Structure 1
Amino acid sequence: MMQEQDAKQLFSVRKNAIAKEKRYYNKFIFNGHFSVFLVILLGAFILGYGDWLKSIPKNINYALIASVIVAITSMFPLRTLLKDADRLFLLPFEKHMSIYISYSLNYSYFARVGLQIIMIIILFPLFYVLNNKTYDFYILFAVLMLILPYVGLLLKWQWYKYRLESWSLHTLLFILYTSSYYVALDAKQIASVTSILLIIGLVMLLKAQNKNQLFPWERLIKSEQQHHMNYYKFVNMFTDVKHLKETAVRRSYLDPLLGTPKSKQFNENYMYLYLFKRSFARGKDAFNIILRLVLIALILMFWLNHPVVTVIIGSLFMYIILLQMAQFYTQQAYGLWPQVWPSSDTKVIKGYEQFLYRLMVIVGILFVIVYVITFPMYSYFGLLFFLVGWLTIRNVIKKLKYQEALLKD
């Protein structure tokens, strides 16, 4: 029988394995360039946030907006660290898996509670200013932000065990979280803790109903695999991940960018440009990450009310977007098509360079439009976006040529 010590040892081994893997990949993620980018981005955010707090726009329900955002961040995923083989090898210990789950609940909470603490710190200056420099009510809000996610995890476990749908749980939690946070921020009433009592009541009710329910192996294993795969997709933008399964998505709105090449372009001189464009437009990972980076950049450029800071932010995002696409080269250049139709390295690099320049132009135009709308008198500063993009591409291509030369040796 699985005793407490056995469950603790099994979970500890898996947690250490995950931590070791993350330490390995973090070396590639938080390299010198990306760390400098994050520091500058943090400084720009603090500067813009401070200026914005001096003249906060009126007639906006900040309590409701903050409640909705925090309700979303409060939905912690349930991380069990279960593997596909567990449905077979741990099946004899099914009745004793509750001990293992208790460790996974604690792990799931502490793995994400840092985000809640960051949100507490970010939102405090806003509501401190809005409420005439008082903060007693905010203590209640902060306590709710730390307690609600944990009781939500308890409910999620019982919900899954009872074989209920995920969407219904997320809808219920979103309503309870939002209402609780809103009452704490807007009405400043102790009644906001009612949501905690309601969730605990639901946990106790479902727990009583789940006494004879079997362990939901399939659901928990599938959920854990999905969480781990999402992490691999993120890391894959910085370095190669062997465990990643590539998927494709049809985006019909991008079809105009993927027209059938003319007959004279059916050769190795144009093959790789088309390959990179199509892989990017149809790929699920690179496109989504670049889209998120562009949207974040546009929001910050609109929000920061300083021409120099805004142009620095735009240039940094141009740099980081093109730098992240450097990993896209290795995913495609050493894939299936180069083996089916072998071509010289110079053709592959040339096609990749052409693809990067096209991406730079699209992103640069978006940045310039936003910059011109925000600061029409300093519109000529927008040329810096293209200059940074051009220098970044030159540096990336130079490194690729050097790496290919080393491989030949």
Structure 2
Amino acid sequence: MSNIENIFIDRSKRESETRLKYSKYIFNSHLIMFLIIVAGAVIINYSSWLTRASNFELHTVFIVVSILFSYLLVASKVKTYIEEADSVFLLPLEQYYSKIASRTVLITYIQQLILLVIFYFITKPITDKIGSFNKLGLVILIILIAFNNLFKLAEVIYFQEKVLTKGLLFITIFSQVVGIFLKLNYSLYLGIMLFILLIFIAVQEYNKLKKEAGKEAEFYYLLKWNEAAEYDKHRKERYLKFVNMFVDVPLKGIRVSRRKYFDILLPRLKRNNFNQENSFSYYYYRVFLRQENTIYLVLRLMLIAGIIISSFNNIYVSVATIISYNYLAIIQLVPLYKQITNNMWHNILPVSEKVKVTSFKKLLTIVMLVSSVILTLVSIFFGELNLFNFIANISAFIFSSILSKVFISKVK
């Protein structure tokens, strides 16, 4: 028991250290300053909105936030810490894994309870106006959150993941949340009935598995090592893709695929594309549009920035967002050149390094220019039409362009 326990404790510590390391890069002084500004704007706008919001608007916002909260609980992945080689080397000790898995679920459960507390305090100003509080329903919700994590773990290591059960979990949690804070009895009853149905499904899955394995087989021998390892690998990759929005991380297994809907953005193939000066320009365009950690990085950051600008409708927030977007995007795109140069195909054509660097700088300049123009137009569209706002938006565009130029010049 101690050997397998030490292995998984060590993996847990290494992952925690890795997350801590990346967190230091993500939450640097620039981002923290930006988050403080955004948090202040959120609090001011939220308190102002509460004074003038209608009953319908209060209900709508609460339901939307409840949907988001329920989705986060269901979509969050449980940690298995299982790797591919474990199916061979840890097979004799698999009877002890269930105890280790229970500890990881407990950590996730505590994190989700903290999320529940945050949800409560965020929505309390709304629920004070439109609803009340059901203590019994809260107790059931706390038990339901524990069941949610245990059932997801069982699906990963014993059963099989199904969209239907995830949908039922989402509806159950959402019904319970709405019933608790809006005191809708029918919603509470629906949540309880669905909870009982989920327990029944879990028992049925367990009996089905035992029947397939034979009556004499112990339950722990049914652990799906390969599926659990693939699940945990995907969980880690998803986290690294999120971190890659802020800092450069070593992503394994980056997929490159043609996206026909982006072909319209590629320059037309002409004879000039194949001369020495332009040969790598077309190549870089294709790389940018087909790697999953490039084009989607820019689009995700643009989407977040656009939502912030349109939501707060505050010129100071808009200016800070445009500049922050440029900073976060460019520091991620500049290292892309080194990743490309590690590819064998990058060195086949007899083209000088100066031409390659110039072509890559041109690509980054166009990407940052176009995205900055779009965000500036969004800020102008959602803001008040006056001279001060116009000058502030143009100034933010100019400053962010200069910032991008400084980082682009460092490409070598």
Whether these two folds match at TM > 0.5 is: yes
Residue by residue over 1:302-336, the C-alpha shift from the partner in whole angstroms, topping out at 9 and shown as x without a partner, is 11133333333333223322333223333224433
In 1, the alpha carbon distance for the partners of 2:147 and 2:410 equals: 50
Residue 256 (structure 2) pairs with residue 251 (structure 1): no
Q: 1:70 to 1:235 in 2, by over 3 A?
A: closer
Indicate if the aligned counterparts of 2:256 and 2:292 stay in contact, CA closer than 8 A: yes
Percent identity, aligned pairs only, is: 24
The Cα shift of 1:141 comes to 7.4
Indicate if the aligned counterparts of 2:257 and 2:290 stay in contact, CA closer than 8 A: yes
In 1, the alpha carbon distance for the partners of 2:23 and 2:353 equals: 30
Q: 1:309 to 1:102 in 2, by over 3 A?
A: closer
Higher mean alpha-carbon deviation, 327-336 vs 112-121, is at 112-121
Q: What is the match of residue 403 of structure 2?
A: 392
* Correspondences of 1:277-356 after superposition (within 5 Å): 277-341=285-349, 343-356=351-364
Question: In the alignment, residue 357 of structure 2 is paired with which amino acid?
Answer: I
Unpaired segments ≥5 residues, structure 1: 405-409
The Cα shift of 1:73 comes to 0.8
Indicate if the aligned counterparts of 1:155 and 1:203 stay in contact, CA closer than 8 A: yes
Structure 2 counterpart SS, 1:264? helix
In 1, the alpha carbon distance for the partners of 2:114 and 2:297 equals: 22
Candidates 231, 239, 245, aligned match of 2:239: 231
The Cα shift of 1:183 comes to 1.7
Q: What is the match of residue 85 of structure 2?
A: 85
* Correspondences of 1:6-405 after superposition (within 5 Å): 6-60=3-57, 61-75=60-74, 76-110=76-110, 114-131=114-131, 136-137=133-134, 146-160=142-156, 163-189=159-185, 191=189, 194=192, 196=195, 198-200=197-199, 202-211=201-210, 212=213, 214-242=222-250, 244-341=252-349, 343-374=351-382, 375-377=384-386, 378-400=389-411, 404=412
Question: In the alignment, residue 64 of structure 1 is paired with which amino acid?
Answer: I
Indicate if the aligned counterparts of 1:323 and 1:392 stay in contact, CA closer than 8 A: no
In 2, the alpha carbon distance for the partners of 1:330 and 1:114 equals: 41
Q: 1:393 to 1:199 in 2, by over 3 A?
A: same
Indicate if the aligned counterparts of 1:44 and 1:313 stay in contact, CA closer than 8 A: no
Q: 1:296 to 1:82 in 2, by over 3 A?
A: same
Indicate if the aligned counterparts of 1:298 and 1:370 stay in contact, CA closer than 8 A: yes
In 1, the alpha carbon distance for the partners of 2:342 and 2:87 equals: 36
Indicate if the aligned counterparts of 1:181 and 1:192 stay in contact, CA closer than 8 A: no
The Cα shift of 1:62 comes to 3.1
Q: 1:349 to 1:58 in 2, by over 3 A?
A: farther
Higher mean alpha-carbon deviation, 298-307 vs 34-43, is at 34-43
Indicate if the aligned counterparts of 1:236 and 1:327 stay in contact, CA closer than 8 A: no
- Output the TM-score relative to the length of structure 2: 0.83
Residue by residue over 1:115-163, the C-alpha shift from the partner in whole angstroms, topping out at 9 and shown as x without a partner, is 44443443333333545xxx645x7777666543321111123334554
Question: In the alignment, residue 170 of structure 2 is paired with which amino acid?
Answer: F
Q: 1:267 to 1:109 in 2, by over 3 A?
A: farther
Question: In the alignment, residue 381 of structure 1 is paired with which amino acid?
Answer: A
Structure 2 counterpart SS, 1:376? coil
Indicate if the aligned counterparts of 1:315 and 1:384 stay in contact, CA closer than 8 A: no
CA root-mean-square deviation: 3.0
Q: How many residues align?
A: 394
Unpaired segments ≥5 residues, structure 2: 214-218
Residue by residue over 1:259-298, the C-alpha shift from the partner in whole angstroms, topping out at 9 and shown as x without a partner, is 3432123234323433332222111122223212211211
In 1, the alpha carbon distance for the partners of 2:368 and 2:251 equals: 30
In 2, the alpha carbon distance for the partners of 1:52 and 1:292 equals: 27
Q: What is the match of residue 407 of structure 1?
A: none
Structure 1 counterpart SS, 2:372? helix
